[in-house]
A and B are shown apart, each in its own frame.
Chain A
Amino acid sequence: MAKTSTDTEIGGALALRAEPVAPRSWRMRRTKLDQRLSPYAYVSPFFLLFIAFGLFPLIYTAWVSLHSVTLQNTDEMEWVGLDNYTRLLHDDRFWNAVVNTFTIGVISTVPQLLMALGLAHLLDSKLRGSTFWRVSLLMPYATSVAAATIVFAMLFGRDFGLVNWFLGFFGIDHIDWESGNWTSQIAISAIVTWRWTGYNALIYLAAMQAVPKDLYEAAEVDGATRWHQLRHVTIPGIWPTIVFTIVISTIGATQLFGEPLLFGGAGGHSGGADHQYQTLGLLLYEQGWFNFQLGRAAATAWTMFLIIIVAVAVNALLASRGRSAFTLGRKAREA
């Protein structure tokens, strides 16, 4: 095709600069329209699907939560005002689930992220077989929640579990992991930690590789040990990523569902005989799909959403303080 000067002008219009190129022919007008509108068409599937299946249901949850809706007849919604919420807040099971979700969240997230940080630090050096290490650390992530939980429930079995057998060497008697309050929550946290530590380590590793190398060189000239480098160069350097993983883990921990559901085997939705590991996610599922009360389930879901907002805000606040602690430490050292 012959290149004319007008064609070149259209080329410049790709960037949609404000150059006044008067459309002189139908073809040119079509090209201009294509360049102006196509980008929106290309990003629209993402936004349309997100609005339809992500944002709209989440917001509509608030509306459903003000109604009585049953699973058997989802067409009939009866207005009940805030009844579902008052009922929820007066329900011991709800507060039990709040506490369980919080404790499991803490004992699964904190060790997980700390270990991931340490692992990433180890991986961030010249290693033989680095691909092998990375792939094997990611195998748990590739294992599904359901499969991992079925296997771990047996590993933590009272009579024939490998964990109790191993603890036997240290003179520890058979622990009934499932029935205990703390023991069941520790076991469930172990599943979460097992599945996510390697993944988070890779996220941290990616961030660490982007930290400028001359910072490490300067630290080494100062005689900083590897531990000092981790504390004063690496951690401040990857802080945004750390905050990101904290936020994502908080959101994930608040919605924890599959691990406690399958850990108890049959009837897992109640979270153990004493509901000792029933999380908010399980409570929601029980209300909606075992007690058939979708309105109450929606109230729980919306409450969880508010809890997530508060938890993320608190974590973000702590994180910003945490960062200043690290940078203050560095400044003090530099002084």
Chain B
Amino acid sequence: MIAVPRTRRFFGKSVGERRGGPLTYAVLALVTVFAILPLYWTVVAASRTNADISKTPPPLTPGGNLFSNIREALDQVDMFKALLNSLVVSGAIALGTVFFCTLAGFAFAKLRFRGSTVLLVIVLATMMVPAQLGVVPLFILVAKLGWVNHLQAVILPTLVSAFGVVFMRQYLIRALPTEIIEAAVVDGASTFRIFRSIVLPAARPAMAVLGMLTFLTAWNDFFWPIIALSSQNPTVQVALNSLGQGYVPDRSIILAGTLIGTVPVLVVFALLGKQIVGGILEGAVKG
């Protein structure tokens, strides 16, 4: 759809109300098609037979084989276990990250303590540390603890995030008046009591956004899970790795498996997209 500018300022259009012209919408529509097309084609191919998608021209609408393909994909990889494991891993990481980041964000936003500025700069700097490159000692450590192939191996190392700390700090600075905290101190409340009774309720919207973003990132994490886990106890990404690197010749079945591993997060994302986008915009400003 093309929007026609309805109101124009007397003296040309003002910048604050700079409107997108037809070209803007055309370009955005094109880019959106590119963004959605691979996902749409996954649905098309996963719901047809292998013979169907090998035709020229290729089919561009969904067919009726989705469920039989999914059933066959589930025979190849244990996607139910993978989904359950991913739910446990991503849920635990999201809960831990939200709790620890809110706690740290509260301290950085509302408590004054010696060295707080330096510590905050260090938090920001950790975003630039390629922690992934520590994979060898991390694996040795996990092997020593006997955690290889156990979910705690992928949960524990990602239980905090620098982004989360900065994000919660930003939110609390804006959303929580310092006077309320000062009043609570006057009433004799301990710092943790203040955190529990004042900060947590006030931070709830930001905690929800951080939780969703963290869940998404944890769900999609790839490198460390395929090293620490195996197809015996996989997360969704580990299962997709076996599927993609395996010897299933049937492309529609591979895509059906990919679809069930991806659809849960994409649906959640589409439903809560507005909040997630808002969170990224919010967290990026000071990034």
Q: Please report A residues at the B interface, Cβ cutoff 8 Å.
A: 1, 3, 7-8, 10-11, 14-16, 31, 34-36, 38-40, 42-43, 45-47, 49-50, 53-61, 64, 69, 74-75, 119, 122-128, 131, 133-140, 142-155, 159-160, 162, 165, 194, 198-199, 202-203, 205-207, 209-210, 213, 216-217, 220, 241, 244, 247-248, 251, 254-255, 257-258, 261-262, 265-268, 281, 284-285, 288-289, 294, 297-298, 301-302, 304-305, 308, 312
Tell me the nearest residue of chain A to B187, going by C-beta.
Answer: A1
Q: A136-B36, A146-B241, A301-B135 are in contact. List 9 more A-B contacts (CB 8 A).
A: A43-B165, A61-B137, A143-B266, A147-B42, A147-B261, A151-B41, A194-B34, A206-B285, A289-B227
Contact, CB under 8 Å: A312 / B128: yes
- Selected interface stretch from B52-60, B64-72, B203-211: B52-60
CB-contact partner of B277 in A74, A150, A202, under 8 A: A202
B35, B101, B136, B244: residue with the most chain A Cβ atoms closer than 10 Å:
B136
Bound complex: CA A11 to CA B129 (Å) = 39
- Given A31-B188, A162-B41, A267-B245: A142 touches B216 (CB 8 Å cut-off): yes
Interface size in chain B (residues, C-beta < 8 A) = 114
Interface SS majority for chain B: helix
Contact, CB under 8 Å: A258 / B223: yes
Contact, CB under 8 Å: A159 / B54: yes
Bound complex: CA A145 to CA B135 (Å) = 19
Contact, CB under 8 Å: B277 / A122: no
Contact, CB under 8 Å: B137 / A122: no
Asked whether any CB of chain A lies closer than 8 Å to the CB of B75, the reply is no
1/0 per residue, CB under 8 A from A, across B1-13: the answer is: 1010000000010
CB-contact partner of B135 in A1, A36, A57, under 8 A: A57
Contact, CB under 8 Å: B130 / A154: no
Min CB gap B207→A, angstroms = 15
Contact, CB under 8 Å: B130 / A308: yes
Contact, CB under 8 Å: B281 / A206: yes
Bound complex: CA A235 to CA B269 (Å) = 30
Contact, CB under 8 Å: B104 / A42: yes
Bound complex: CA A14 to CA B270 (Å) = 43
Bound complex: CA A151 to CA B141 (Å) = 35
Contact, CB under 8 Å: A38 / B111: yes
Tell me the nearest residue of chain A to B140, going by C-beta.
Answer: A74
Q: Please report B residues at the A interface, Cβ cutoff 8 Å.
A: 1, 3, 12, 14-20, 24-25, 27-28, 31-32, 34-36, 38-39, 41-42, 45, 53-54, 56-58, 100-101, 103-104, 106-108, 111-114, 116, 119, 122-123, 126-141, 143-144, 156-160, 162, 165, 181-182, 185-188, 190-192, 195, 216, 219-220, 222-223, 227, 236-237, 240-241, 243-247, 251, 254-255, 258, 261-262, 265-266, 269-270, 273-274, 276-277, 280-282, 284-285, 287
Contact, CB under 8 Å: B17 / A1: no
Q: Could you show 15 A-B contacts with beta carbons less than 8 Å apart?
A: A11-B185, A31-B190, A49-B100, A54-B131, A135-B274, A136-B32, A138-B280, A146-B222, A147-B258, A151-B258, A160-B251, A265-B244, A281-B223, A301-B133, A304-B130
Contact, CB under 8 Å: A11 / B216: no
CB-contact partner of A54 in B38, B126, B185, under 8 A: B126
Contact, CB under 8 Å: B266 / A57: no
Bound complex: CA A1 to CA B140 (Å) = 55
Contact, CB under 8 Å: B284 / A203: yes
Contact, CB under 8 Å: A150 / B113: no
A61, A137, A144, A285: residue with the most chain B Cβ atoms closer than 10 Å:
A144
CB-contact partner of B273 in A135, A248, A254, under 8 A: A135
Contact, CB under 8 Å: A154 / B255: yes
- Given A45-B100, A142-B269: A165 touches B57 (CB 8 Å cut-off): yes
Contact, CB under 8 Å: B265 / A150: no
Contact, CB under 8 Å: A262 / B113: no
- Given A53-B156, A122-B24: A135 touches B270 (CB 8 Å cut-off): yes
Bound complex: CA A302 to CA B134 (Å) = 8
Min CB gap B5→A, angstroms = 9
Contact, CB under 8 Å: B160 / A265: no
Residues of chain B within 8 A (CB-CB) of A150 are 240, 243-244, 254-255, 258
Residues of chain A within 8 A (CB-CB) of B190 are 31, 34, 38
Contact, CB under 8 Å: B134 / A57: yes
Min CB gap A304→B, angstroms = 6
Bound complex: CA A60 to CA B156 (Å) = 19
Residues of chain B within 8 A (CB-CB) of A42 are 103-104, 106-107, 111, 191, 195
Tell me the nearest residue of chain B to A3, going by C-beta.
Answer: B186
Contact, CB under 8 Å: A194 / B20: no
Min CB gap B202→A, angstroms = 16
- Given A58-B133, A138-B273, A265-B245: A144 touches B222 (CB 8 Å cut-off): yes
Bound complex: CA A160 to CA B243 (Å) = 19
Min CB gap B130→A, angstroms = 5
Min CB gap B227→A, angstroms = 6
Residues of chain A within 8 A (CB-CB) of B53 are 160
Tell me the nearest residue of chain B to A217, going by C-beta.
Answer: B15
